[in-house]
Amino acid sequence: MNQQPVALITGANKGIGHEIAKQLAARGFTVLVGARDVALGEAAAKEIAGDARAIALDVTSADSIAAAAARIRGELGRLDVLVNNAGVVRGGASGPTTIEALIRRGAPSTAEIADIRAVFETNVFGVIAVTQAMLPLLREAPAGRIVNVSSTLGSLGTLTAPGRPLGTVGGIAYGPSKSALNAVTVAFALELQGTAIKVNAACPGYTATDLNAHSGTRTVAEGAREPVRLALLGPDGPTGTFSNDDGPVPW
């Protein structure tokens, strides 16, 4: 069995996931850099100081998920932290990248069902499938932690607050997929109550990455802060919560 604790971060070949992997490696974890294109994962792992290894993982592929779980079991024999970070804002490879175009494409009255389905496939069903596959390993860990990288755009409380500070940016696909992810977080946390595993959701804040054509106002170091904090929670830490680095976010 691997001596160091092991963390798997999905979608870690770039953006916030890559930074989470860097920060966990700096804390002494063996990090598994999940990437659907393993060549990108290998390049990203090389940029991380410490024990970082690329792992092929497309969260929408049952075969890929099963192969990743089998490799972790065979090669490392343990998994302590799972960060479900992989996420998309739109279906298909070549969608709009500006916020304005996303709002148009995500308008509830006109959005295409196939686009919405594709976003849910990664952001919701991908998280459930990866979590289910990794749970046997996480249950064996002394302090299993699951962190789901969500978004305030999925916060129904924030979206309906007086003045509606977030307007319609979340649309019908991305925002609702993150609301569903929050519900999935609570569902796993409830089932795993009484075990050593804690399951929480984090919003990184509006972070400059490819996801928003680098229009975000936060750095990836800032975006990774809350997911990393939740990955490192001690035994008295909470489970079934949704937070950013300012504190709790309304469901």
Report the nearest approach of ligand NAP to the CB of residue 41 (Å).
9
Q: Does 33 bind ligand NAP (CB under 6 A)?
A: no
Q: Can you list the alpha helix ranges (DSSP code H) found in the chain?
A: 15-26, 38-46, 62-75, 99-105, 113-120, 126-140, 156-159, 174-191, 220-231
Of 73, 64, 67, 39, which is closest to residue 54 (Cα–Cα)?
A: 39
Report the nearest approach of ligand NAP to the CB of residue 121 (Å).
8
Active-site annotation holds for 206: no
Site for ligand NAP in 105-144 (CB under 6 A): 122, 126
Q: Which amino acid is at 166?
A: L
Residue with smaller CB distance to ligand NAP, 4 or 218: 218
Report the nearest approach of ligand NAP to the CB of residue 176 (Å).
13
Burial class (CB in 10 A: 0-12, 13-18, 19+), 160: exposed
Report the nearest approach of ligand NAP to the CB of residue 106 (Å).
13
Report the nearest approach of ligand NAP to the CB of residue 236 (Å).
27
Residue with smaller CB distance to ligand NAP, 129 or 135: 129
CA distances from 28 to 5, 13, 141 (A): 7, 19, 16
- Phi, psi values for residue 173, rounded to 5°: -105, -65
- DSSP code of residue 125: I
Instruction: Determine the size of the site formed for ligand NAP (CB under 6 A).
Output: 31
Please answer whether residues 76 and 51 qualify as being in contact, where contact means their C-beta atoms are separated by less than 8 angstroms.
no
Catalytic residue among 29, 120, 174, 188: 174
Q: Does 47 bind ligand NAP (CB under 6 A)?
A: no
Per the rule left: phi > 0, alpha: psi between -120 and 50, beta: everything else, 100 is alpha
Q: Does 210 bind ligand NAP (CB under 6 A)?
A: yes
Choose which of 48, 69, 81, 85 interacts with ligand NAP (CB under 6 A).
85
Among the residue ranges 47-55, 73-81, 84-92, 106-114, the one whose residues contact ligand NAP (CB under 6 A):
84-92
Among the residue ranges 45-53, 66-74, 101-109, 202-210, the one whose residues contact ligand NAP (CB under 6 A):
202-210
Per DSSP, the three-state class of 133 is helix
Angle at 228 between CA 226 and CA 234, to 5 degrees: 100
Choose which of 5, 15, 171, 175 interacts with ligand NAP (CB under 6 A).
15
Q: Which amino acid is at 90?
A: R
Per DSSP, the three-state class of 43 is helix
Choose which of 71, 73, 206, 213 interacts with ligand NAP (CB under 6 A).
206
Residues that bind ligand NAP (CB under 6 A): 10-11, 13-17, 36-37, 40, 57-60, 85-88, 122, 126, 149, 151, 203-204, 206-207, 209-212, 216
Catalytically active residues are: 174
